[in-house]
A = this chain, B = another copy of it.
Amino acid sequence: MMTTPFEAFSFAKRIPSTPSIGSTTVTKPDHIHLSFGFAAPHLFPIEELSQAAYEAVSLHGRTALQYSGSGGPRKILEWIQNRSLVHGIQAELPQILVTYGSTQGIDIAARILLDPGDHVWVESPSFFSALQAFRAAEAVITSFPIDEDGLRVDLVENALLEARRQNKPIPKFVYTMPTYHNPGGVTLTTERRARLAELAETYNFFIVEDDAYSELNFTGNKYPPLYTLLPGRVIYLNTFSKIIGPGLRLGWMIADRRVIDKARLLNLGGSIGVFTQEILAQLLDRLAFQEHVDQLSQHYHKQRDIMAEAIKSSFGDHVTFHLPEGGFYIWLRFGEAVNTSDFLREAAERGVSFVDGKSFFAKPEGYHYARLCFSYVSEEQILRGVNILADAYFAYEEQRLFGVTKQRHL
């Protein structure tokens, strides 16, 4: 019956044309996924969680399975409130919105702050799913570099001055990962945080602070969340993905109550998975959280050291990187002429995956970077994986510098 061709329909322009990365199709069991920004599965609190799941359903099943008002179980909100205090964040319960992971938090922030054509300023590199969300909101994305101390706030400031002078658009918001940046691994200094908050205040834009990794702290160094510096203009996002498990798809947003009210309007009257929230509430009740998170941090700290050592011994001076104070990632910088996308497939065939640099940039750039993740894999896999990756790289280098003109990796 269908005679009108599919192509005759014009879909919304807002749909990005390229998929966000973040999943892979490789399923070989011995493949080493240095690409996955995943939690270490052996540290999931499975025992406590299976108990929690059983009890949540048998004790609270009839409410857990029902629709609830937009708030969700109060216990989770209170847990978030208390844990936030540890990081200096004071928030009333109505300022906290539980989201389907911080990915949804980013999406909601974009949808409430942006009209099509509005400007968003991001770091380069940035988190690919965030870039995808901003594209879906039809934003104009402008990138600012990071260095060892995080976002180059001085360049943001210059651009703002310039924009003001030339009557060009000020961003609706700056999206930043100030602590243990993904993929950069860097952390924004306290001074730069203060300056960025001042700029947001002066120029009347929001900061979307993506704080997914802050609990995974290897050094004990503390930095004030941007939220604490300018609560009225910061939308703070965090997630249970890195501290409990991403499969829960639960995260949270903290912001001015009026921002949260707008976010709720987008929630279309349905609250976020009460069922999963009840289970999580039970889990948080029985989990010694500080101990749990200390254990995670210790583990990831060790993994970072192993990876850093392996990189040094396998790559020598072919790469540089910042040793992250926390989080999941090491961001390798190769020589300018290197294009890491060009040995992605070679590496995969040899049994290792990583994410090539260009995936983290809004524009075509960043080719000479690669992101390695030390969280998901075992020690042994890190050692073997980095080794194999180096082999793939050196084979590519040889080809590039001395090889026949016919490229093997197109």
Given contacts A20-B265, A63-B247, A65-B247, 6 further A-B contacts (CB under 8 A): A1-B229, A15-B111, A22-B67, A103-B269, A132-B268, A275-B276
State whether A12 and B111 are in contact (beta carbons under 8 Å apart), knowing that A46-B62, A230-B1 are contacts in the complex: yes
| CB atoms of A66 and B265 under 8 A apart | no
Cβ-neighbour of A275 out of B113, B197, B249 (below 8 A): B249
| CB atoms of A111 and B66 under 8 A apart | no
| CB atoms of A54 and B62 under 8 A apart | no
Complex Cα spacing A9 to B234, Å: 13
State whether A114 and B12 are in contact (beta carbons under 8 Å apart), knowing that A201-B2, A247-B67, A249-B275 are contacts in the complex: yes
Complex Cα spacing A316 to B385, Å: 77
| CB atoms of A246 and B65 under 8 A apart | yes
Q: Which residues of B contact A154 (CB under 8 A)?
A: none
Give the Cβ gap from A42 to chain B, nearest Cβ, in Å: 8
| CB atoms of B264 and A248 under 8 A apart | no
Stretch of A33-41, A174-182, A317-325, A394-402 at the chain-chain interface: A33-41
- A16: CB under 8 A from chain B? yes
- Which residues from 21 to 62 on chain A have a C-beta closer than 8 Å to any C-beta of chain B? 21-25, 36-39, 41-42, 44, 46, 49-51, 53-58, 61-62
- A270: CB under 8 A from chain B? yes
- A8: CB under 8 A from chain B? yes
| CB atoms of A273 and B247 under 8 A apart | yes
- A245: CB under 8 A from chain B? yes
- Which residues from 326 to 362 on chain A have a C-beta closer than 8 Å to any C-beta of chain B? none
